[in-house]
Amino acid sequence: MLYPNKIKKENKHVPVSHANRGMDLEKLINDANSYYLNNDIAVIYKKPTPIAISMVDYSKSNPEVKGLFNQKSTLDYVGLYKGKYLDFDAKKTLNKTSFPLSNIHYHQLKHIERIINHQGIAFLIIEMNNKVYILKGETLLEFINQDQRKSIPYSYIEENGYIVNFKYNPILDYLEVLEKIYFKEGALWKK
């Protein structure tokens, strides 16, 4: 990430962007998950980073591990809310007009499709233009199947996604939005 101050020093004419300052989407989600766990609302956690372990040094009391990053085959978060299986990823783009689909790997799309087929809830939490949206897995797959485009226009996300407004505690109460999308009968269900 480029820090505005550093850019300033190197090139005075580069506009200072606030887009990449302050909000840390992953931290907000983790904070919300802690809140949900501590208040017995849901059990949602980040999956550990998969590492292919090549060496373990057992000479130490707490063995040291060496390895390589493994490609993730699923999404970052998994959880349970009101008996429903949740599986989702957090994605951020600094692009203001469209969300590049290169952010999502083929095997992740496949995973989303499987989760939906087996009656789970799959979605993305997208940070874009300093706003946070929930985009249903169904909506994402529909867009990709219809338009063979390389990115999703921001207007599409604005129209078909659901905005997550910031509040006091947790700041990013995305379950409140999921509740409206998936759990309130009739409300915002779009199958």
Please give the residue ranges that form the binding site for its own copies (CB under 8 A): 37, 40, 42-43, 45, 47-51, 53, 62-70, 73-74, 78, 80-85, 87, 111, 114-115, 117-120
Nearer Cβ to its own copies, position 36 or 162? Answer: 36
| Least spacing, CB of residue 84 vs its own copies, in Å | 7
Nearer to its own copies, 87 or 127 (CB): 87
The pairing of strands 121-128 and 84-92 is parallel
CA distances to 10, 54, 75, 158, 171 from 176, in Å = 43, 42, 21, 18, 11
- Shortest spacing between CB 97 and its own copies, in angstroms: 31
Residue (65 or 163) nearer to its own copies, CB: 65
The distance of closest approach from Cβ of residue 83 to its own copies in the complex, given in angstroms and rounded to an integer, is 3
The distance of closest approach from Cβ of residue 77 to its own copies in the complex, given in angstroms and rounded to an integer, is 11
Structure tokens at 76: 């970052």
Q: Which is nearer to its own copies, 46 or 180 (CB)?
A: 46
Core vs surface per residue 108-129: b (16+ CB within 10 A) or e: bbebbeebbeeeebbbbbbbbb
Q: How far is the CB of 153 from its own copies (least distance, A)?
A: 31
Per-residue tokens: 49: 């980073």
**Nearer to its own copies by C-beta: 62 or 145?**
62
